[in-house]
Structures are given as structure tokens and as C-alpha cells.
Amino acid sequence: MQLILGTRGSPLALAQAQRAASMMEVLHSWPAESVQLSVVRTSGDRIQDRPLAEVGGKALWTKELDQALLAGKTHASVHSMKDVESDRPAGLCIAAMLRRGDVRDRLIGADSIQALRQGAVVGTSSPRRAAQLLALRPDLKIVPLRGNVDTRLGKVAGGECDATLLAAAGLDRLGKAHVGVPLDELLPAPGQGAIGIECRTEDDMTRRLLSQINRPPTFAAVNAERAFTRTLGGSCHSPVAALAIVARNGWVHLRAQILSEDGSDQVVDEAHFAPHDDEAPAALARAMLGRASESIRRLFEGA
């Protein structure tokens, strides 16, 4: 069979989809180009002049890919897991996740957050990054910044803003490992650095093929982060960070952070639990919301 993978058309999305395709071909001893890429232009790619939270949130990155998959035009979709809503359409399932890349953010435009000039302008459309930066440097001015990696790098180089933050894994996958300074002090977005592959739940053949390239520790870690965010019930307006790591003993260690929009209030906590125990991260989310200020709780549905 010829497997068709749906993907967005950005350079990063194509690099990630090609990585998944190559892994499938090598693992199954298929000839080159046995896995075909089908480029789907999403609403998120078309709408570049407004923050995602104003025009539909993360679904703008997945809606058209979901439609193609459910219609049988593709066998699977390749996603950056940080861009995938924690609640997915009925009939679709994440069947595999590849080995996770560097989960950190990188700072472009300065050697550290502390080194940014007083009142520096930082471009980001991520509420999480904005809140985390303001928690450390309330003097910073945050402005919206959209576009693919090269577009955002160009805007910093052109002086539209003093600095920006980009995911280290994305820079690495584009051959830009030398760009930016890794930030260990910022907890990443849930799913950051992970590539997921989604297929129709009833498509047993594709699920079996994809399961063979699945990386179980990545799957367990990202599943925990997504269970945490699903329970929070937030939107793209909600600053939330989470990172799960599977220890050598097989248990999951989840660290999480929720913040007010200006970073002035935050709750940080952690939990240890067995893999695929969705109730433990859910309980952590409920406990954190229970201790949160009104400025945080109002950002999460049902809080």
C-alpha cells in the first residue's frame, strides 16, 4: 500500500512529516517515496495577522487536516503535539509519537532574559511565554508575533522587536541548532518538542503500522501533559506550562504551572504517578485550580 500522510505546508511541518515518512519506509523496508505527503493548508496558515486565540485557537492548525483524514483523503496526519487540542474529534486517535526533541524554548535577540534591556519589546503570540516572561521581567513589553520560524527570525533581525522565543526542537529540525540561547528557567508548553501521528480509530491497518514507530516514553509523557490540560479546560488565552518525564523506574514525573495573563500570579506543582494514569494529572489540575487566584481561575473554563 502507499501510505498518505497529511501535513501542513510550513518548512517545519514538512520536515517533521518527512521524518515520519522516512521512519516508516526504513522500518517496514519499503521503497523510497512509498509514503506520500499530502500538503493541507490550514486556517492557521492563512490567518497571519491576528493571535490564534482571537480567531479560533489551536483548532486552526488541525481542522482541515482532520477533515481530510475523516474523509479518507489521507491515512494519517502529522502534528506538532503542542498545537493539538487536548480534546480530539470522535473517530480520530493519536496512534504514535516519535522520540521527543529538546523541550526548551530558545531566546532570540539576547544572551538571557536578564540581559534584555529595560522595557525591551519581545514578540510572541503565546500567552504562556508572555506570562512567564512578565513574571520574571514585568518591565518587558510583549507584542504579537506570528509567522513561520524564518518570518519571526526576520522580524527580530529587522528590528520590529528586540527578541522572541522559539521552540528549540523546531529550530533543530530546521537545521538551526546554533540559533538562540536555550532557556532552562521556563517550563515548556504541553506537548512541546513532540511529533504525533493521528489516524482514524477504525483504521486497524494504519494503527498497526504506526504503532511500530511509536516511542512509548514520549507517548506516556505527552499523554500525561494532555490529561492535565484537558482537565484545566483552558483555551489559547490560558497561560499553562507542563512537562512530564518518564523516570527509569517507569513512573511519570509531571511538573506544571498556571499563570495569570500578566504573570503576577502563578501556581506551580508536581506529581508522580504510573504511566497512562489520566486521573493523577487530572487531580493535579483540579488541586492547582483550587489554590489559584481569581485572575488565574477566570482563564479556565469551569474553574
Query: CA–CA separation, 244 vs 280, rounded Å?
Result: 12
Could you please report the per-residue DSSP string of 48-59?
-SS-HHHHTTTH
For 169, residues 6+ apart whose C-beta sits below 8 A from its C-beta are 100, 101, 102, 103, 192, 193
Q: Report the phi/psi class of residue 57: left, alpha or beta, with left for phi > 0 and alpha for psi in -120 to 50.
A: left
| End-to-end Cα distance, the chain | 48
Could you please report the per-residue DSSP string of 87-144?
S--TTEEEEEEPPP----EEEESSSSTTTSPTT-EEE---HHHHHHHHHH-TT-EEE-
Q: Shortest CA distance to 210 belongs to which of 78, 107, 90?
A: 78
For 178, residues 6+ apart whose C-beta sits below 8 A from its C-beta are none
Give 165's strand partners: 107
Query: CA–CA separation, 86 vs 84, rounded Å?
Result: 6
* Catalytic residue, candidates 49, 66, 83, 265: 83
CB 80 within 8 A of CB 259: no
Q: Is 203 an active-site residue?
A: no
Q: Shortest CA distance to 276 belongs to which of 243, 252, 247?
A: 252
Q: Shortest CA distance to 272 belongs to which of 300, 231, 244?
A: 244
Going from the C-alpha of 194 to that of each of 8, 202, 268, the distances in angstroms are 16, 24, 23
Residues designated as active site? 83
